[in-house]
Amino acid sequence: MELSKGESSHPHALALNTGRNCLEYILRCRGYRKVYIPYFTCGVVLEPFQKLGVGYEYYHIDQQLEIGDVITLKSDEALLYTNYFGLKQSYVEKLAKQYGKQLIVDNTQAFYAKPIKGIDSFNTCRKFFGVPDGAYLYTDAKAGFEIEQDVSYDRMSFLLKRLDLGAEAGYADFREQSERLVGQPIKQMSNLTASMMQSIDYQAIAQRRRENYEYLNKHLAATNQLQLPFADDAVPMVYPYLTDDKNLKQRLISEKIFVATYWPNVLEWCKQEDWEYELTQRTVFIPIDQRYGIEDMKRIIEVINS
């Protein structure tokens, strides 16, 4: 493969195979007895807790996606907070001052977020880029166990099919290979993924994502019931659009505009009257990534306004 040899996007991080394994690394090294986790999070976050037998307790977030409960940590407890959609970095910095080293930051939706010294944080590569796996962990905790290197060549089929046959042709493979990441041991990032990550133009991608987000926000902010500040240095994952239009998600999908659901497990964890339940049900997560430009954003807006 003709891959350019660029700089690592996170040269000072520990490069591992998955985001959930970054969390497992933290839990194993820190020895926490219990961790507070948000109701509004991906179901796979529970995997390392269940594997290690670490206790956890859910907490609610408010309409600014900030902690809605009073949480006082004991010395053997930690708080896990998700940097939602790459838009909550300033709040993460406030939490870091409040909870110090007992804060764990889930940056899986915020690949470009800057690490905070002394704070454990991790991201994931495949939510932002066309790679099969990979994640970066920031921690000063030293592992007392061996970490072998991962191999990724057999997880590439969904990327190759998408390129050759189209997105729909690769989707089944994507689902299958996502399932294969379940239960994987902690490993170092594969040579393949590391090489692909070093060939990416990160600045150009950040600019494209920001341009798309800003264009959508300019035209949709007036009708978006989720009002989140957009910092100058934020690089968002999606544009979260909270609406009463119950048919919008299906209308977009019928026009071959893919909108993911973050996260269906929340509907099982929460009551219907909970804000997180409403957030999952009514928010349409509009793609703004580097594959698309302003003309694509115009088309999305046309479908929404139809």
197, 228, 249 — which closes off a domain? 197
Q: In terms of residue numbers, what domain contains 147?
A: 14-197
**Residue 6 maps to a domain:** no
Q: Give CA 202 to chain center in angstroms.
A: 17
Q: Are residues 184 and 210 in the same domain?
A: no
pLDDT, one tens digit per residue, over 29-62 is 999 999 999 999 999 999 999 999 999 999 999 9
Prediction pTM value: 0.96
173, 197, 221 — which closes off a domain? 197
Q: Are residues 241 and 275 in the same domain?
A: yes
Give the pLDDT band (50/70/90) at residue 178.
confident
Give φ, ψ of 92 to 5 degrees: -55, -40
Residue 162 pLDDT > 90: no
Give φ, ψ of 222 to 5 degrees: -65, -25
Q: Are residues 94 and 238 in the same domain?
A: no
Which 3 state secondary structure label does DSSP give 188?
A: strand
What CATH number has the domain bearing residue 76? 3.40.640
Q: Are residues 155 and 254 in the same domain?
A: no
**Residue 8 maps to a domain:** no
Count how many domains the chain has.
2
197, 220, 247 — which closes off a domain? 197
Q: Give which of 257, 258, 227, 225 is closest to 243, Cα–Cα.
A: 225
Which 3 state secondary structure label does DSSP give 34?
A: strand
Q: Are residues 60 and 207 in the same domain?
A: no
Q: Are residues 177 and 49 in the same domain?
A: yes
pLDDT, one tens digit per residue, over 86-106 is 999 999 999 999 999 999 999
Q: Are residues 32 and 150 in the same domain?
A: yes
Q: Are residues 214 and 193 in the same domain?
A: no
Q: Using only C-alpha atoms, what is the Rg of the chain?
A: 19
Q: Are residues 22 and 158 in the same domain?
A: yes
Q: Are residues 107 and 49 in the same domain?
A: yes
Residue 205 pLDDT > 90: yes
Q: What is the pLDDT of residue 176?
A: 87
